[in-house]
Amino acid sequence: MMNVALLRVLFTHAMLARPRLALGRAAALGPLLPDPRHRAVRMFLDLGRSFLPDYPVTTPIDETVLDEHALARMLDYGLIVPRLPALYAFSAESLGHRG
C-alpha cells in the first residue's frame, strides 16, 4: 500500500511538472487535475480504506486492495502502470539522480 501511495504522489507531481508524461494527449488538464481543492484529488490520494484501523492486519491483501476506491484502482492500472518506467525516470531526474 505504501507503493501505491508513492506512485500516486509521483504521478500527481508529474501531472504538474510534466503533464504530457502523465496524461498523454490530455496533457492540457495536467495543471487542473491535481488541484488539492477538488474532491477527485482527495479521493485519488486517500488510501484510508487500505490502511486498516486494526493491526496486525488479518484481512487478506486481495480483499484490502478491492476495498480501495474503484476509480482510483482504474487510474492506477490504466493510467499509471503503463507509464511506470518513464515516471520513475522523471522522478529520479527530479531528485538529481543520474543513473
Model confidence band, residue 17 (pLDDT cutoffs 50, 70, 90): very high
Question: What is the DSSP code string of 37-91?
Answer: TSHHHHHHH--TTTS-SSSS--S-HHHHHHTS-HHHHHHIIIIIGGGHHHHHHHH
- Of residues 87 and 68, more confidence is placed in 87
pLDDT, position 48: 64
- pLDDT of residue 92 exceeding 80: yes
Cβ burial 71-85 (10 Å sphere, 16+ → b, else e): ebeebbeeebeebee
Average pLDDT over residues 69-91: 87
